[in-house]
Amino acid sequence: MNVSQRLAAMILATVLATGNVCADEQDFKPIFDGRSLEGWRAADPSYWFVEGGIITARITKEHPCAVNQYLVWQGGELADFELALETRVNGKGGINNGFQFRSRLLPDNDICGYQVDNNLETPWLVRLYDEYGRHDLALRGERATFDVDGKRTASPLAEAAGDAWFRLEDWHEYHLVCVGGHITLYVNGKLAAEVEDRDPRRAEPQGILALQLHSGPPTVAQFRNIRLKILKPAREAPQATSSGAEQRRSALLKDALAWWQLDSAGRGAVHALTSVPQFYQLQLNVCSAGAGAVPGGKCVVLDGAYFDAGKHIHVDGDQLTAYLRARDPSGAWNSALFAKRGGDDRVHFNLFSADLNDDGVGDMGFELCTDQGFAMVSFPVSRIDATAWHDLVGRYDGKELAIFCDGQRMAAKPCSGNLVKNSEPLLIAAETDNGKVVRPFHGELEDAALWPRALSEAELAGLSLRSQP
């Protein structure tokens, strides 16, 4: 008997023993060989084992887990497919676990995107979820639709009404079906949750598959009989080609003192960011939209959250360039943007928006303090398309303080002296004022960067995506 025959026999024996029958076993293929983790990869393999034909992930007091761990299938991205697997999770308290699908692997090995999520000690027990995104898609017992504007409507699933027909602590089977934006989840052969995702900015047509071990108290998460049926193959990623202008822009950003790609919350950057709060006021990996959006671009959508780069980043001397690519869909522009300040008397630099004249019209400003005093330049938002994407730059060259938008000089004034340092955190999408975090930005961001020199106007034009041919 060859390997495929043995695996088929194992699956049949399990089906007969458990009664958990997938909709149609025909054309399903096992993607776990029952003996090893061949074909799977973990950033930290110390949490993952194969024991008795079962993938087991374990957190103990002796081996704690502070960040989520994933075992990523190496078979490529999935588009339309059916997946069947059996799982159970045990531990004390509200243990959380599940698996990612059509998801994105972030630079620090965290993952964002669609998830089958389960949680002990909750009424819903299992749900369709969007990690680092919209969060609840559909709880057990719900059918949810997201329309083209992202609005969610939900109705009860009569098939899943009442008490749960399974226990997370016992072996139970998930059968997940993804066809376009239609996602259905069955548990032990019974429909549990359903989603129709028509949101063009947030729906994920394809992505990776990964098993999860959630951070937290001692936990044992187990998976077996993992089978996959491809309904429509994922599209191959186009070969990376970039123009000379794009290559120069990329080199310029990589040369910065600090550069953060904010669609992934700056994960993997040299200077780590902390997102505050961690989840419910931001969405990662959202397709950029609106005037000035770059095709294929991704952004973070902020609704009260901000990023903290810590207190250690400073620029010495008498030159500095601060850059932020941002969009305020409301067009209000009356909030913090990119700052290391504690008040007007202790500003290292501050790229901001505010209604400076109390006339109901927003202004863009850039300010800093040198050993010669405080200086600020600004221009009214009425000079630009207020709801579009913009490349905003504040620059100080030791002689002049200037603010640029989309590669164009908008305002400038004489300024001299060495930059004053402070003990405030460097924040993106918020600022500090007398020890309090204030004026969070409600909008969308792609990149932020800081250089310890004054970029030339040619470099600033090349940095602006609006100025690209």
Mind giving me the DSSP string for 273-316?
-EEESSSTTEEEEEEP-STTPPTT-EEEEEES-EEE--S-----
**If we measure between CA atoms, which residue out of 130, 126, 141 comes closest to residue 102?**
130
> What is the rounded distance in angstroms from the CA atom of residue 55 to the CA atom of residue 26?
24
The overall longest dimension of the chain from CA atoms, in Å, is 84
Beta bridge partners of 396: 320, 401
Q: Is 211 helix (H, G, I), strand (E, B) or coil?
A: strand
Residue 245, pLDDT score: 87
Q: What is the token pair recorded at 149? A: 């504007």
Q: What is the token pair recorded at 255? A: 């040369």
Question: Which amino acid type is present at position 21?
Answer: V
Parallel, antiparallel, or unpaired for β 142-146 and 135-139?
unpaired
Which position has the token pair 């100025």? 467
Beta bridge partners of 320: 396
> CB count, 10 Å around CB of 129?
23
Q: Residue 155: how many CA atoms within 13 Å on its side-chain side?
A: 4
All domains of the chain in start order, with CATH: 3-233 (2.60.120.560), 244-467 (2.60.120.200)
Contact between 320 and 395 (Cβ < 8 Å): yes
Omega cis (within 30) before 218 = no
> CB count, 10 Å around CB of 136?
15
Contact between 128 and 183 (Cβ < 8 Å): yes
Could you list the pLDDT tens digit for every one of the 469 residues in the chain? 443 444 444 444 444 333 444 546 778 999 999 999 999 999 999 999 999 999 999 999 999 999 999 999 999 999 999 999 999 999 998 999 999 999 999 999 999 999 999 999 999 999 999 999 999 999 999 999 999 999 999 999 998 989 999 999 999 999 999 999 999 999 999 999 999 999 999 999 999 999 999 999 999 999 999 999 999 999 987 766 678 888 999 999 999 999 999 999 999 999 999 999 877 899 999 999 999 999 999 999 999 999 999 999 999 999 999 999 999 999 999 999 999 999 888 899 999 999 998 888 899 999 999 999 999 999 999 999 999 999 999 999 999 999 999 999 999 999 999 999 999 999 999 999 999 999 999 999 999 999 999 999 999 999 998 655 4
How far from the centroid of its chain's Cα atoms is residue 305's Cα?
A: 13
**If we measure between CA atoms, which residue out of 295, 265, 258 comes closest to residue 283?**
265
Beta bridge partners of 135: 130
DSSP class per residue in 323-377: EEEEE-TTS---SEEEEEESSTTSEEEEEEEE-TTSSS--EEEEEEEETTEEEEE
Q: What is the token pair recorded at 358? A: 């109390």
Residue 22, pLDDT score: 52
Neighbouring residues of 205: CB distance < 8 A, sequence distance ≥ 6: 79, 102, 180
Give the DSSP letter of residue 250: H
> What is the rounded distance in angstroms from the CA atom of residue 437 to the CA atom of residue 441?
12
Residue 26, pLDDT score: 79
Burial 41-70 (b: 16+ CB within 10 A, else e): ebeeeebbebeeebbbbbbeeeeebeebbb
Angle 84-97-68 from CA coordinates, rounded to 5°: 120
Parallel, antiparallel, or unpaired for β 78-91 and 172-179?
antiparallel
Distances (CA, A) of 36 to 30, 50, 68, 160: 13, 6, 22, 36
Residue 266, pLDDT score: 96
Give the DSSP letter of residue 381: G
Burial 439-458 (b: 16+ CB within 10 A, else e): bbbbbbbbbbbbbebbbeee
Beta bridge partners of 367: 350, 376
Angle 219-225-226 from CA coordinates, rounded to 5°: 85
Neighbouring residues of 151: CB distance < 8 A, sequence distance ≥ 6: none
> What is the rounded distance in angstroms from the CA atom of residue 311 to the CA atom of residue 326?
23
Which position has the token pair 């096992």? 30
Neighbouring residues of 140: CB distance < 8 A, sequence distance ≥ 6: 124, 125, 126, 127, 160, 164, 187, 192, 193
Contact between 34 and 7 (Cβ < 8 Å): yes
Distances (CA, A) of 154 to 159, 171, 179, 194: 15, 29, 19, 10
